[in-house]
Structure 1
């Protein structure tokens, strides 16, 4: 994954405003002027949660001419829907999102439920790679996967290597953690 943050971020709502706290720093209210920070979060949303990004981009399309405001509105809404609790549990570390169940008065009737709040993770791995990775995640050896799918061990290794490169993962332990955190194999 992109190493966008060297520290962990905790978001929370205080007095109806979105705040964030970086590791070892005082809390700050998220503002449109936090351009670099907002852009990093917006890029992560667009990369890993494209359906949420597209829905929010459409919702805030009228502000697109003012790019800092446009990105701020997307990030603010996404974070309010997914990270509003003040709980001292890290919401974003490196590029991994740790979603919370935020209490919302529109739960069950919001048009963005399971799109913006509790969004679907887009892993950027192919169906073939995912099929192999899921078997490997569940404990099958590479040889067993090759036999079951009538593929060579070389093809299995290539699929795993290509997926790891795209996800910036370096070993099976990192992959298992990534898959668990992102509910890759629900």
Structure 2
């Protein structure tokens, strides 16, 4: 994936990628398909909500898919930001919180805007990783969760493999960026 920076200009969604600046429409088939896949896989609650939101357009599949991606980007990436790309080359989403003028009052807040990440990490792995995120060491985790240290290591290794990361600091950054442990 390439770096992407989305922004709203004259009420239209635009994207900067590789020095190229273009308006996003349903004609951007590859971008829409890539984004739709990520939304569906990693933010399934947002995908479900957006599918209901635009269900009247579902018969026109390309337009329906575009509407889902367009609204997701508007809710989470609408501001032009030169410091951090909205989507980096690793495919990580960097949400811009609080951009929406009705943020906090919108029925889609914390569903579409600032969505919860779904990494397909098992519940057992998630309990271990939450404790890693909170600063516990492997022995503390094993003791508190009544697991063997070997099991704790296996859970950590499994999560790192699923997320394509290699060390604790990368996991902490990943969890923070993707709202992995938000309430």
In the alignment, which residue of structure 1 is the partner of 2:136?
140
- Looking at structure 2, the residues matched to 149 and 180 of structure 1 have their Cα atoms a distance apart, in angstroms, of 23
Where does 1:51-66 land on structure 2 (aligned, <5 Å)?
Answer: 51-66=45-60
- Higher deviation after alignment, 11-20 or 158-167: 158-167
Q: Give the secondary-structure state (helix, strand or coil) at the position aligned to 2:49.
A: helix
- Higher deviation after alignment, 78-87 or 60-69: 60-69
In the alignment, which residue of structure 1 is the partner of 2:145?
149
Where does 1:1-186 land on structure 2 (aligned, <5 Å)?
Answer: 5=1, 7-22=2-17, 24-88=18-82, 89-93=84-88, 94-186=90-182
Q: Give the secondary-structure state (helix, strand or coil) at the position aligned to 2:8.
A: strand
Q: How has the CA–CA distance of structure 1 residues 185 and 113 changed in structure 2, closer, same or farther, with 3 Å as cutoff?
A: closer
Residue 148 of structure 1, CA deviation: 2.4
Deviations 1:94-135, CA, capped at 9 Å, x for gaps: 221111135434334322122111212223212211111122
Q: Which runs of 5+ in 1 are unaligned?
A: none
Number of matched pairs: 180
- Looking at structure 2, the residues matched to 134 and 107 of structure 1 have their Cα atoms a distance apart, in angstroms, of 27
- Looking at structure 1, the residues matched to 145 and 103 of structure 2 have their Cα atoms a distance apart, in angstroms, of 42
Q: Give the secondary-structure state (helix, strand or coil) at the position aligned to 2:15.
A: strand
Deviations 1:9-55, CA, capped at 9 Å, x for gaps: 10001111100001x32211001011111110011111111111001
- Higher deviation after alignment, 104-113 or 76-85: 104-113
Residue 163 of structure 1, CA deviation: 1.8
- Looking at structure 1, the residues matched to 43 and 154 of structure 2 have their Cα atoms a distance apart, in angstroms, of 26
- Looking at structure 1, the residues matched to 98 and 16 of structure 2 have their Cα atoms a distance apart, in angstroms, of 18
- Looking at structure 2, the residues matched to 97 and 50 of structure 1 have their Cα atoms a distance apart, in angstroms, of 15
TM-score (norm 1): 0.88
Q: Which runs of 5+ in 2 are unaligned?
A: none
Contact 1:83–1:102, Cα closer than 8 Å, also in 2: no
Contact 1:13–1:19, Cα closer than 8 Å, also in 2: yes
- Looking at structure 2, the residues matched to 54 and 60 of structure 1 have their Cα atoms a distance apart, in angstroms, of 10
Q: Give the secondary-structure state (helix, strand or coil) at the position aligned to 1:12.
A: strand
Q: How has the CA–CA distance of structure 1 residues 54 and 144 changed in structure 2, closer, same or farther, with 3 Å as cutoff?
A: same
- Looking at structure 2, the residues matched to 82 and 47 of structure 1 have their Cα atoms a distance apart, in angstroms, of 17
- Looking at structure 2, the residues matched to 157 and 109 of structure 1 have their Cα atoms a distance apart, in angstroms, of 42
